[in-house]
Amino acid sequence: MSISKQQYDSMVKKMSPNSKSWIDIPKAFLIGGLICCIGQGLNDIFSYYGFDEKSAAAWTSVSLVFISVLLTGLGLYEKIAKHGGAGTLVPITGFANAVSSPALEFKAEGFVLGVGAKIFAIAGPVILYGTAASVVYGLIYYFFLR
């Protein structure tokens, strides 16, 4: 059975849920902002307890990744992401969730073929192309912009 592009587009529109951007965008903004406020609060706490600026930033990142992985393991991050959308994907917590989710999903297959093989299933391309792009940008900067 062959269908035309117009028929296919019509079928996709019928099956796709309508986005309520007037509510989704503010929710993403608020939840993403809350994550950033938590990060700033952690940074302020680490700075208060004597960490220098770079160390406080590093420990803030580590703490946010730990919290994200913990919430993913408890099944709570998905519930937050359902409402927060891109607000939960853009900060470092979204990357930690993207790495830990496949690892948790395939842990029954063992540490090597399950966790080890699947842990970078989603985040792997981001790491690969992000690293490759940074090398290209670095070369452009080095040879043309400095």
The answer to whether 119 touches 69, Cβ cutoff 8 Å, is no
Half-sphere exposure of 138 (CA within 13 A, CB side): 6
The DSSP string of 71-87 is HHHTT-HHHHHHHHTHH
- Is 6 among the domain residues? no
pLDDT for position 1: 66
Segment 51-78 mean pLDDT = 94
- Who has greater pLDDT, 20 or 39? 39
Cβ neighbors of 131 (< 8 A, separation 6 or more) are none
> What domain range includes position 137?
21-145
Taking the C-alpha atoms of residue 139 and residue 121, their distance in angstroms, rounded to an integer, is 28
- Is 46 among the domain residues? yes
How many domains does the chain fold into?
A: 1
- Is 5 among the domain residues? no
Please, which pLDDT band fits residue 127 given cuts at 50, 70 and 90? confident
- Is 40 among the domain residues? yes
Please give the model's pTM, rounded to 2 decimal places: 0.69
- Is 32 among the domain residues? yes
- Who has greater pLDDT, 14 or 76? 76
